[in-house]
Amino acid sequence: MKFSEYYTDKNEFVFIDDIRAGDEPWSALDSVEKMVDDFVCAKRGSLPGDFEKFLFFNSAPMPDGESEDRSIMIMRTAYAHAPVCDSDLKIYIGPGTILETGAVIKGPCVIGERCEIRHGAYIRGGVIVGDSCVIGHATEVKNSIIMDHSNAGHFNYLGDSVVGSYCNLGAGTVLANLKFRGREELLSGTIKNISTTSHTGEMIRTGRNKLGAVIGDFTEIGCNTVVVPGALVGSDCWIYPNTTVNRGVYPPASVIRNKGAMEMETVKRKSL
């Protein structure tokens, strides 16, 4: 699978080399926490005192008696005039980023420079957000990578997904990460790995029991779109509003839209 179909030579995301070093376009999802740990450890620090007054610290012991579920809630809108780093929480926030009231951030997490983390956003951990991004109102992000200049501005869910640079997710867009399970899985609490299909119909085993989508650079997604687990969407694609994007591989510069009667079609864009 060619990484160039998803991440173009215009991509300057700080972790792009880590992503391209993987076997597959989604492989970096297995090492997000390590990527964050290495980045935060290199920065080393604790939250500045003048920044802490904007925060509420949540901490709850976990059943194993050892770890803690720790996060911060933004109590008053805060602006990062300089880099903010807490090695204990494993949270880094780049300068120029604004955090609006009501946002919740759980480490490990890296948020780049000049971002907007809006009211009610929930960053659930294992998340890397690039520079000049928007994580909007009532948007939840979990174990995902969002590259520079990409927006998930309103009522979005991004689970176990990789979103390239210069992407936009319209209001209500969902990158679902959990497929339907049978009775055996539900009773045993297990989840089978997700598979997807290539251009030729060949099965691709992802090796992950949770996988949302891979969205290539410069792709735009219309409002109220649901992207099914295991959809791999190339760069420069347009996905029309109210579309259900099935699992599979979509070439760069595709237009993906509903045909009606629960059918979907993909055509080539006429120009970029």
Assign 3-state DSSP to the chain and report helix, strand, coil percentages, each to 5: 15, 35, 50
Average pLDDT in the chain? 92
Strands 134-137 and 151-154: parallel
Q: Is 101 part of a structural domain of the chain?
A: yes
pLDDT in tens, 208-231: 999 999 999 999 999 999 999 999
Q: Is 243 left (phi over 0), alpha (psi -120 to 50) or beta?
A: beta
The residue-averaged pLDDT of 15-41 equals 95
When divided into structural domains, the chain yields a total of 1
Q: Is 19 part of a structural domain of the chain?
A: yes
User: What SS3 state is found at 187?
Assistant: helix
Q: Which helix (H) or strand (E) covers residue 59, if one does?
A: strand 55-61
Torsion over CA of 228, 232, 237 and 243, rounded to 10 degrees? Answer: -10
- pLDDT the model gives residue 50: 67
pLDDT in tens, 136-153: 999 999 999 999 999 999
- pLDDT the model gives residue 60: 65
- pLDDT the model gives residue 52: 72
Buried b (16+ CB within 10 A) or exposed e, 119-152: ebbbbbbbbbbbbbbbbbbbbbbbbbbbbbbbbb
Residue with tokens 């420079």: 113
* Model confidence at 123: pLDDT above 90: yes
- pLDDT the model gives residue 35: 96
pTM: 0.92
* Model confidence at 256: pLDDT above 60: yes
What residues make up the domain containing 212? 3-58+68-268
- The span from the CA of 270 to the CA of 254, in Å, is 9
- The span from the CA of 98 to the CA of 111, in Å, is 10
Q: Is 169 part of a structural domain of the chain?
A: yes
Chain centroid to CA 50: 30
- The span from the CA of 129 to the CA of 116, in Å, is 10
Q: Is 10 part of a structural domain of the chain?
A: yes
* Model confidence at 66: pLDDT above 60: no
- pLDDT the model gives residue 261: 58
Q: Is 183 part of a structural domain of the chain?
A: yes
The residue-averaged pLDDT of 179-192 equals 94
- The span from the CA of 183 to the CA of 159, in Å, is 23
- pLDDT the model gives residue 167: 99
- pLDDT the model gives residue 199: 83
User: What SS3 state is found at 89?
Assistant: coil
Length of the chain: 272
Domain containing residue 165: CATH number: 2.160.10.10
The residue-averaged pLDDT of 101-127 equals 97
Q: Is 63 part of a structural domain of the chain?
A: no
Q: Which two tokens stand for residue 263?
A: 């059918």
The residue-averaged pLDDT of 90-117 equals 96
Percent of the chain beyond pLDDT 90? 78
The residue-averaged pLDDT of 173-196 equals 95
